[in-house]
Amino acid sequence: MDIDGLGDKIVDALIKDGLVKSFADVFTLDAAKVAALTSESTNKTGKLVVRKIGDKTAQSINASATEAKGRGLARLLDALGISHLGTASAKAFARTYPDLEAMLAASVEDFQQIPDIGEITAASIHAELHSGAMQRAFAELRAAGVSTVSPMYSATREVPADSPFAGQTVVLTGELVQMDRRAAMEKLESLGAKVSGSVSKKTNLVIAGPGAGSKLAKAQELGVPVWDEAQFMAAIKDL
């Protein structure tokens, strides 16, 4: 769920020390205990370095985990590692169901009505969602305060009448500083945009941050309008 500071080495340290035994434990970590742990890394010379995680990183992990609790059903499904349920299909389910409970109440046949979800995929996802391990995970996540509601649910999501992105195809490229890429994509989609991974004649807008390369060049070649992050943040400020 894109929790800042929670890299592989720190996750290994948390598991080794017993602070994390399940996914839900990430959302209830004791910052003081995390700060006291050490993690291993390799420096440029190949030497193994052992460092204390420290208060700053521990507080960053806790703050980011707290924020991540409210990111909604699509992000949660994507993070659970369910077979055949990647980012795109997690969004499709989140648009179809208002919350996890409604999704769990649906049948395999219901799942097959979702775009790009075939019979085999629907059966696989349905079985894994109802497995004992996943049911325990859901109970632990709810107890930790993680939201299982879908802000993307199509029956309740209304695109603001003054959205400048309604019906527009938008491409994100380069680094975004004020908002992570996935959050920016979800914001654009909530405002009626289609977020594409490539620039074409059908692209209406490119939002380019530092490090933008071939997509920015393609937009300039085709005469597609280009915004920087400041313009994007200003446009969504009151939306």
Cα 177 to Cα 2: distance, rounded to the nearest angstrom: 14
Give the Cα-Cα-Cα angle 68, 165, 186 (nearest 5 degrees): 15
CA 61 to chain centre: 16
- CB under 8 A, 24+ apart: contacts of 186-189: 186/74, 186/152, 187/236, 189/91, 189/152
High-pLDDT (> 90) share of the chain, %: 70
Q: Which of 62, 59, 17, 67 is nearest to 39 (CA)?
A: 17
CA 207 to chain centre: 19
- Highest mean pLDDT: which of 5-9, 85-89, 221-225? 221-225
Per-residue model confidence (pLDDT) at position 156: 64
Tokens 């700053």: give the residue. Answer: 56
- CB contact set of 78 (below 8 Å; sequence gap of 6+): 85, 86, 87, 90
Tens-digit pLDDT profile for residues 48-68: 778 889 999 999 999 999 999
Residue 153: is its pLDDT beyond 90? no
Residue 150: is its pLDDT beyond 80? yes
Structure tokens at 51: 């460092």
Cα 119 to Cα 113: distance, rounded to the nearest angstrom: 10
Structure tokens at 161: 């009448």
8 A C-beta contact, residue 51 and residue 43: no
For the chain, domains (ranges, CATH) are 8-68 (no CATH), 73-143 (1.10.150.20), 169-236 (3.40.50.10190)
Q: Which alpha helices (H) appear in the chain, and where do they start and end?
A: 8-16, 31-36, 54-68, 73-79, 87-96, 100-105, 108-112, 119-129, 132-143, 181-190, 214-222, 229-236
Residue 117: is its pLDDT beyond 70? yes
Helix (H, G, I), strand (E, B) or coil at 38: strand
